Amino acid sequence: MPATPHVEKHFAASASVRDVVIGMADGLTVPFALAAGLSAAVSSTSIVITAGLAEIAAGAIAMGLGGYLAARTDTEHYASERAREEWEIDNKREFEIAEVRDVFVGYGLQGDALATVVGAVTADRARWTDFMMRFELGLEEPDSKRALTSAATIAASYLIGGLIPLAPYFFAGSIAQALPISVGATGVALAAFGAIKGLFTGISPIKSAAQTLLVGGLAAGAAFWLAHLFG
Amino acid sequence: MPATPHVEKHFAASASVRDVVIGMADGLTVPFALAAGLSAAVSSTSIVITAGLAEIAAGAIAMGLGGYLAARTDTEHYASERAREEWEIDNKREFEIAEVRDVFVGYGLQGDALATVVGAVTADRARWTDFMMRFELGLEEPDSKRALTSAATIAASYLIGGLIPLAPYFFAGSIAQALPISVGATGVALAAFGAIKGLFTGISPIKSAAQTLLVGGLAAGAAFWLAHLFG
C-alpha cells in the first residue's frame, strides 16, 4: 500500500535509528551511573575502569546477542503461527471464514457487501493467510535479514555510549578529577542524545533532552547513594 | 473480533510475563557478568557488592523509568498520529479514500465489491480513523494505564534477577568462595528462567534454556577476560 510522506519518514527513521537509540540510551546511562557510583566508594580510577569495561562488555553482549536471539525467536514464532493458520484454513475452513466475516462486521459491513468481501479475501489461500496473520493475530512478518545488523548496531551503540562516561577515568590522575569531567561530558551527551531522539520520534527536543537527563541523573544518583552507603 | 484459543493464550501471557522476561533477562545477565568480571580483578567482596548494587540500581532505574517514559512517548505519538489522520480525513478526503481502496486492492478486491467495502469503511469517521491507524500506519493504541505497572514490573524483575548472582558475595568470606557459588546459582537460575520463558513464547524449553545460558555465559566470560586484562 502506498505510504503518505509522513509515514515514509516515520519508517525510514525507525529501522536503524531505533537500534542506535536503544543501545545508546542504556549505554550512556548504566556505565555512567556505575562509574559515578563507584567514585563514591573506591579510591582508585583503575577499579572504576575495570568495573566500567566489564559492565560495557556485559551490557553490549546482553543487549546485542540477547536481541539477536529474541529476533530469531520472533521469526520462528511467526513461521509457526503462519503454519497453524494455514492448517486451520485447510481443516477448519468454516471457522476461519467466520473470523474473516467478524473482522469486516467490525468495520460496519453487512448483507451482500459482507458476503462479497469475505468471498474475495478467502478466494486465494496465500492472501487469506496474510490477512489472518495481520488482522486476526496482529503479527507482521519479521525482517529476519535485519536481525544480525540490528544486534550489531545495538551492541556498538551501547559500547560507544558507555565509553563517554568512562573515558575521563582513563586520562585523569584521580577520581576527584575524573568524576566532574565524566558527569559534565555525559550530561552534555545525554542532553544531545535526548534532543536528537526527540527529532526522530516527533516529540519536543527540549522535553526529550530533559527526560534523558532525568533518567541518567536518577540512575547515577541512586548508584552514588547506594555505593556511598555500602562502600 | 473473536480470538481463537491459541491467540488468547498468546496474548494473556504477553502483558505481564513479557515485562518479567524483559527485566529478568538483563537482571540475571549483566550484574552476574559484572560480579564475575570484578572477581578476576579485585580482592575484596565489598567492592563486588558495592559495584553490583550500584549496577542493579542503575539498571533497574534505566529500564523501569526509561521504559515508562518510552511508553508515554508512544501514547503521545499515537495521539498525534491519530489527530493527523483525522485532519487528513477531513481535509484530504479523496486521498484518504484512495488509501483505503489500496488496502483492499492488495487483498484482491475489485469492482463493485471494492466500492462497497470502501464505502462502508469510510461511512463512519471514527471507524475510518481506526482503520487507517491500524492498517495504514500499523499502530495499535498503547494501553497507557499499564505503563506504570509495566515499568515497576520490569524494574522489580531486574532487581530480583540481579540479587541472585550478588547474594553469595554477601555471605561468603572471600571472592574465591563466592564466585563458584554465584556462577552455579546464576547458571541454574538462567537455565530455569530460559526454560520457563520458552514455555511462554512457544519455543522448546531446552533450546530456550541453552540460549539464555549462552548469553549469560558469554557476557560473564567477556567481562571476566576484560577485567583480568585491565585489573
Q: Which one of A29, A30, A179, A203 would you mutate to disrupt binding with B, by most B Cβ within 10 Å of its Cβ?
A: A30
Q: Is a pLDDT exceeding 90 seen at residue B1?
A: no
**Dist CA B222 CA A220 (whole Å):** 24
Instruction: Using alpha carbons, list the distances in angstroms from residue A25 to B124, B174, B175.
Output: 41, 35, 32
**Residue A72: pLDDT band by 50, 70, 90 thresholds?**
confident
Arithmetic mean of pLDDT, A163-176: 94
Q: Which of B11-33 are b and which e, b meaning 16 or more Cβ less than 10 Å from the residue's Cβ?
A: eeeeeebbbbbbbbbbbbbbbbb
- Burial class, B87, CB count within 10 angstroms (exposed 0-12 / middle 13-18 / buried 19+): exposed
Sequence-separated contacts (24+) of A73-78 with Cβ below 8 Å: A73/B201, A73/B203, A73/B208, A74/A142, A75/A142, A75/A144, A75/A147, A76/B203, A77/B201, A77/B202, A77/B203, A78/A133, A78/A139, A78/A141, A78/A142
Instruction: Using alpha carbons, list the distances in angstroms from residue B77 to A9, A214, B3.
Output: 14, 20, 28
Return the C-alpha cell found at A56: 560495557
Is A47's CB within 8 Å of B62's CB?
no
Closest CB to B1 among A136, A201, A203: A136
Which has more pLDDT, A146 or B49? B49
Return the C-alpha cell found at B186: 546464576
A52-61, A135-144, B111-120: least confident range: A135-144
- A111 touches B: beta carbon within 8 Å: no
pTM above 0.90, yes or no: no
Q: Is a pLDDT exceeding 80 seen at residue B4?
A: no
**Dist CA B5 CA A106 (whole Å):** 20
Among positive and negative, which fits the CA dihedral B218, B220, B221, B227? positive
Looking at residue A5, its pLDDT comes to: 30
What amino acid occupies position B107?
Answer: Y
Q: Is a pLDDT exceeding 90 seen at residue B19?
A: no
Q: Which of A115-150 are b and which e, b meaning 16 or more Cβ less than 10 Å from the residue's Cβ?
A: ebbbebbbeeeeebbbbbbbbbbebeebeeeebeeb
What amino acid occupies position B29?
Answer: T
Angle at A137 between CA A133 and CA A141, to 5 degrees: 45
Q: From A130, which residue of chain B is nearest by alpha-carbon distance?
A: B107
**Residue B111: pLDDT band by 50, 70, 90 thresholds?**
confident
Q: Which one of B6, B61, B127, B175 would you mutate to disrupt binding with A, by most A Cβ within 10 Å of its Cβ?
A: B61
Q: Is the ipTM of this complex over 0.85?
A: no
**How many other C-beta atoms can be found within 10 angstroms of the C-beta atom of residue A10?**
19
Task: Find chain B residues with C-beta within 8 A of A54's C-beta.
Answer: 33-34, 37-38, 41, 223-224, 226-227
